[in-house]
Amino acid sequence: MASMTTLGEFIVQQQHAFPHATGELSSLISAIRLAAKIVNREINRAGLSPDIIGAVGVENVQGEVQQKLDVFANDKFKAALEARGEVCGLASEEEEDFVVFDGERGKNASYVVLIDPLDGSSNIDVNVSVGTIFSIYRRITPVGEPVSGKDFLQPGCNQVAAGYVIYGSSTMLVYTTGVGVNGFTYDPTLGAFALSHPNMRLPDNGTIYSINEGNYIKFPAGVKQYIKYCQERDEATNRPYTSRYIGSLVSDFHRNLLKGGIYIYPTTESAPDGKLRLLYECNPIAFLAEQAGGIASDGRQRILDIEPTSLHQRVPFFAGSRLMVEQAQQFLNQSAEVVAS
């Protein structure tokens, strides 16, 4: 069997392709790789350890009940990123405010990281795939000074890297540095991530739509119309489409990335601003979608162009195959025009 390129080898190869690279970003990705291995080990033990599964008993800043693995994953990623010395601050879905790495190495570091340590963690107890989502930016404040809020409140188009780890039937790390999307599958016999999905591309069209239809009655009219369009029979466009919804953003997006499809989490009557977090979830997934040839929007505008106003800002989210997202946006625009008239 031909040998496969490991993530470590791939990082070195990529660094050689950019003569002016300092190696800091490569080291940062390596820190994420290390923390992902540790979290993966605990997830695989979850069914055997009562200390790992279940709720902590408190709510995070999002108003969501924290799971034990939420806290564990947050602590491990935070520790791994601080130890490397390439990160000056971290913002996490599990933290009320951003965390400053104010040691000497942290102050002189060039990057900030925003992270959802364990997306879909409520699924752990029932053995459904979960994930980690990360987003990396260059700091705005001068090196040598503590980071501030403006370092984290950057539009997604400023990302220098983003990705996710999916902990499922196999564990994969998928990431981009703005030159395409590559996926690495974890081989537990070697303890290494190996390049298994080079140059991942979203098909221009697909036959899967991913949305929580249990909230149908609360959806905007344009979204309801798009769902009906997906369900109508039309052989010319391969409809009806297939409905697939796991309830873990990483899992749903990963499937659609491989097979083609659209992921939708719109506004609802109970969540008028949407539910997903712009900085920890939507921006990194949008960066990946675009690098793979797809589209990500809030139904009106490009996700990566949105200027953040708060650390835990929520937005509606439409991401996936280009033609499917464009079609959904047409229904939303037509609905808006009817209301305006």
Residue 52 within any structural domain of the chain: yes
Domain count, the chain: 2
Nearest to 165 by CA among 31, 296, 52, 51: 31
User: Are 31 and 179 found together in one domain?
Assistant: yes
Tokens of 314: 């929520």
Residues 186 and 251 in one domain: no
Residues listed for the chain? 341
* Cβ-Cβ contacts under 8 Å for 233 (sequence gap 6 or more): 239, 240
Q: Which of 18-22, 124-128, 284-288 has the lowest mean pLDDT?
A: 18-22
User: What secondary structure does DSSP assign to 36-61, as a single string?
Assistant: HHHHHHHHHTGGG-TTTSSEEEEE-T
pLDDT at 194 over 50: yes
State CA 240 to chain mean position distance.
Answer: 28
Same domain, 288 and 170: no
Q: Are residues 285 and 333 in the same domain?
A: yes
pLDDT digit string, tens, across residues 302-335: 999 999 999 999 999 999 999 999 999 999 999 8
Q: Considering the chain, what percentage of its residues have pLDDT values greater than 70? A: 90
**Arithmetic mean of pLDDT over the chain:** 90
Q: Answer with the one of 150, 165, 197 that is the final residue of a domain.
A: 197
Residue 259 DSSP SS3: helix
Poorest-pLDDT segment among 100-109, 110-119, 239-248, 302-311: 100-109
| pLDDT score at 341 | 46
Residue 203 lies in a domain: no
The enclosing domain of 255 has a CATH number of 3.40.190.80
Same structural domain for residues 98 and 145?
yes
Q: Which residues contact 270 (CB under 8 A, 6 or more apart)?
A: 218
Predicted TM-score (pTM) of the model is 0.93
- Read off the pLDDT band of 109 (50, 70, 90): very high
**Does residue 236 have a pLDDT over 50?**
yes
**Which residues make up each annotated binding site?**
93, 116, 118-122, 212, 245, 275, 281
Is the pLDDT reported for residue 270 higher than 80? Answer: yes
In a domain, 202, yes or no: no
Which of 197, 223, 252 is the endpoint of a domain?
Answer: 197
Which range of residues forms the domain containing residue 73? 7-197
The residue out of 169, 197, 225 marking a domain boundary is 197
- Chain center to CA of 173: 11
Which residues are known binding-site members for Mg(2+)?
Answer: 93, 116, 118-119, 281
Residue 2 is predicted with a pLDDT of 52
Could you list the residues known to form a binding site for substrate, using ranges. 119-122, 212, 245, 275
The pLDDT of residue 276: 96
